[in-house]
Amino acid sequence: MRSIASTIKRLNVLRTVKSSPITVSKNTRLQPMSDFGDNPGNLTAWTYVPTTFEPGGAVVVVLHGCTQNAASYDHGAGWSQLADKHGFALLFPEQQRVNNPNLCFNWFATADITRGQGEVHSISQMVRTMIERHSLDSGRVFVTGLSAGGAMTTALLATYPELFKAGAVIAGLPFGTASNIPEAFERMQGQGLKESRILTDKVRHASDHQGPWPSLSVWHGTADKTVDPINMEATVGQWWHLHELDENPIITSQLQNHRCRTWSDSAGTPRIEAHTITGMGHGTPIKSGENGVSMPFMLDVGISSTFHIASSWGLIGEQTISSVAVSPYLPVPASDDSRHHSPHPVGTVIEDALRKAGLM
């Protein structure tokens, strides 16, 4: 257990608002969204509906990370540029400093991640209003987010699973793993994570939904010092048990530093993807010049997660990413940390990682 002094120090860090200024695009492309219903989370909302959009199209909900806002995240990740090319709509919920000094979505606050309450309810109201206002396809609603936005993504998928077809978590955490700020810091450091079946039960109890469950894509860098990559395995385990999938993933590789594990259901439909970026720190993987702009927490590693995520959701037509299927039992490269790249069954991966961290 951490000392009181240590906890106070971390709380002071969280309250500091001057250390990480927001980088904002001068010419924001987003439009404010008002009158979207109940807003107990006191959030604001922005939208982007390209001229190429047609009624019945899809929408992606995009959640920024701490110290960011909607415009800065869109500028870095390139979602609106991709929407221009492929005709889908975008919804950007945005945190306010009055709710969180560092503009983090409050993924660790029970009042904000409980169905019918707080921030998750506000976002669900935005989604429903967006569907009605722009004649969207309610069966093609997706959500993605970075860091605190990634953790809020799992919260939305758990509390309002009927709203979303799929989600993508970037450098985030599993749903329901923390209920206060000290616990949030511990989980970010990979401490105190529960066994995956316990985490799965938290999703089952978050709503009365009986399935089918949204598909999930998880992205994480092996050099992430802000959110330990063990959270990637915990998130995979949480949703792997929920989907009741087979244990062995198929491993594909797009780039030298990118490894993807895919678990499919009995019909062969991919339900979970786990993307590991070797050597990447805390942030969203982008490919500058193709889709995205390098800036704080937007890391140019030669692969656009925005493009890949949209492609996996069927939003950009033909699959143009070159994927090579290989044996699911390839040896792990010596430079990798086996905690985060093990090709063994996900339950074994998580249990081994927890034991190495001294949590089991």
Q: SS3 letters for 89-111?
A: EEEEEECCCCCCCCCCCCCCCHH
147 a catalytic residue: yes
- CATH 3.30.360.10 is right for the domain spanning 23-356: no
Q: Give CA separation, 119 vs 32, 127, 199, 204, in Å.
A: 18, 12, 21, 19
Cα–Cα distance measured from residue 342 to residue 346, given in angstroms and rounded to the nearest whole number: 8
pTM of the model: 0.83
List the 250-255 sheet strands across, edge first.
31-32, 44-48, 89-94, 59-63, 141-146, 166-170, 215-221, 270-277, 258-264, 250-255, 324-326
pLDDT lower than 50: segments of the chain: 1-26, 318-351, 353-360
Separation CA 51–CA 93 (nearest Å): 21
Given 80, 147, 196, 305, the catalytic residue: 147
Domain boundaries, the chain: 23-356
Rounded CA-CA distance 346/335 in Å is 21
Amino acid at 351: E
Where in the chain does DSSP place strands (E)? Answer: 31-32, 44-48, 59-63, 89-94, 141-146, 166-170, 215-221, 250-255, 258-264, 270-277, 284-286, 298-300, 324-326
Fill in the amino acid letter for 231: N
- 159 token code pair: 């509390």
Burial (Cβ within 10 Å: 0-12, 13-18, ≥19) of residue 38:
exposed
